[in-house]
Amino acid sequence: MTTTARAHTNIALVKYWGKRNAALMLPQTDSLSLTLDEFYTTTTVEFDPTLSKDHFYLDGKLVADQQAHKVVKFMDLVRQMSGRADFANIASVNNVPIAAGLASSASAFAALAGAAAKDAGMDLSLKDLSRLARRGSGSATRSIFGGLVEWHRGTDDLTSFAEPVQEVPKFGIAMLAIMVDTSQKKVSSRGGMQLVVETSPYYPAWRQVVKDDMVAIKKAIATGDLKTIGHIAQQNALRMHALNLAADPGFTYFNGQTILAMQTIDRLREEGLNCYYTMDAGPNVKVIFDPKDQDDLLKALSPVFGAERLVVAKPGPGIEYLADPVMKF
C-alpha cells in the first residue's frame, strides 16, 4: 500500500528562531505564519518488508544516505511510534515555480509526517500530526494547517503543536517573493538559530518581543487590520535578523539585493501601497500585501528585480491526501 500527502510551505509573520530542546524540537517561543498556495511538497510513502533500509527519492532521483539522514531519522521515529518495523520507499516532489529558494523543510516534513504516519497505520489527529511534523523541522509544525496558523511553544512534547488562527483569512492578504538569489544557503536555519540562542546578547529581549507580537498580531488578525499585521511582521523580521548580527561570530542572510528590496518596499509603502517585507534564513524577500494592490506592486517591482524573479502566492490549504503516488517504486 502507498500513501500520498501534500503540504504547503508557510512563511512566518512572527518568527520561530531558536530551540530550547533540540532532541524534541521544542521552540523558545510561539510563532505565527501564513500557509501559501504556490509552494508545496507531495510525498508518497510505502512500507515494504523486503527492504533492508529506507530509500528516499527527491524529485525523481535517489538521494545518497548521507543526505537522507534527516528523513531516515524521522522514519525511525515513525517506526518507534507506530510499532511498524519495516523500512520504506519515500518519494518527494517539490513544487516551486522557479528553481530552489522556497522549497522549505516546512512543507517537506509536514507532507512526510502525513504520508508516513498514515502508511504506518497511525490515525493521528491534526494536532498530533503537527506534533509529529515538529520532530522533522520546527516550521513544519505549522504546515499541517492552512491560512494563518499559530504554533504554541508549549511546556513539553504534548503541548507544543500548531493550531489554525484563521484557516481561510477573512481579509485580503497575499505574499510576493522577490527571488534575489536561488542558490543554497550558507548558514542553515538550524545552525543559525542555535548560534543565536547561545551567543546573541539580545536573546532575552527577543523572547519578550515575540510575546508582545503574538498578542498584537492576533488582535489585528481578528479585525482584519492588514496595516498592523504587516507592520508587526516587518518589525519582527528585522528584530530576528538583528539577533544574527549580534551573535558571535555575527552573520547575516542578507545580500545587497535584499537591502535594495527592503528599501524599495519601504519606499512603495510611503508612496501609498499597503506592503511590508519579511526575510527568513536566506536573502530572498517576501512581501506581505493587499491583493487589490497586486498589479501596482508588480509594475513597480518588475523594472527593479525583473518580472521573472517575482512570484505571487495566496493563502494555501492544510495537509491533503492524494490518491495517486508521485512515483511507482
In the complex, least distance from residue 296 CB atom to ligand DP6, rounded to whole angstroms: 28
Positions 14 through 33 that interact with ligand DP6 (CB under 6 A):
15-17, 25, 31
In angstroms, the CA 175 to CA 294 distance is 10
**Residue count, binding to ligand DP6 (CB under 6 A):** 14
- CA atoms lying within 13 Å on the CB side of residue 80: 8
Q: Edge-to-edge, what's the strand order for the sheet holding 285-289?
A: 275-279, 285-289, 174-178, 310-313
Q: Which residue is nearest to ligand DP6 (CB)?
A: 138
166 binds ligand DP6 (CB under 6 A): no
Cβ-based neighbours of 41, under 8 Å, separated by 6 or more: 6, 7, 9, 92, 93, 94, 95, 103, 107, 108, 110, 111
- Judged by CB under 6 A, the stretch of 10-18, 77-85, 87-95, 268-276 that binds ligand DP6 is 10-18
In the complex, least distance from residue 281 CB atom to ligand DP6, rounded to whole angstroms: 5
Positions 123 through 152 that interact with ligand DP6 (CB under 6 A):
137-139
DSSP state of 292: G
Of the candidates 54, 213, 280, 290, which one interacts with ligand DP6 according to CB under 6 A?
280
In the complex, least distance from residue 252 CB atom to ligand DP6, rounded to whole angstroms: 13
Identify whether the C-beta of residue 141 lies closer than 8 Å to the C-beta of residue 162: yes
213 binds ligand DP6 (CB under 6 A): no
185 binds ligand DP6 (CB under 6 A): no
Identify whether the C-beta of residue 92 lies closer than 8 Å to the C-beta of residue 322: no
Of the candidates 103, 262, 281, 285, which one interacts with ligand DP6 according to CB under 6 A?
281
107 binds ligand DP6 (CB under 6 A): no
The residue (of 127 and 153) whose beta carbon lies closer to ligand DP6 is: 153
Q: DSSP readout, 116-177?
A: HHHHTT----HHHHHHHHHHH-GGGGGGGS-SEEEE---SSGGG--EEEEESS-SS--EEEE
Query: What are the phi and psi torsion angles at 300 (to 5°)?
Result: -75, -35
Of the candidates 189, 200, 236, 258, which one interacts with ligand DP6 according to CB under 6 A?
189
List residues binding ligand DP6 (CB under 6 A).
12, 15-17, 25, 31, 105, 137-139, 189-190, 280-281
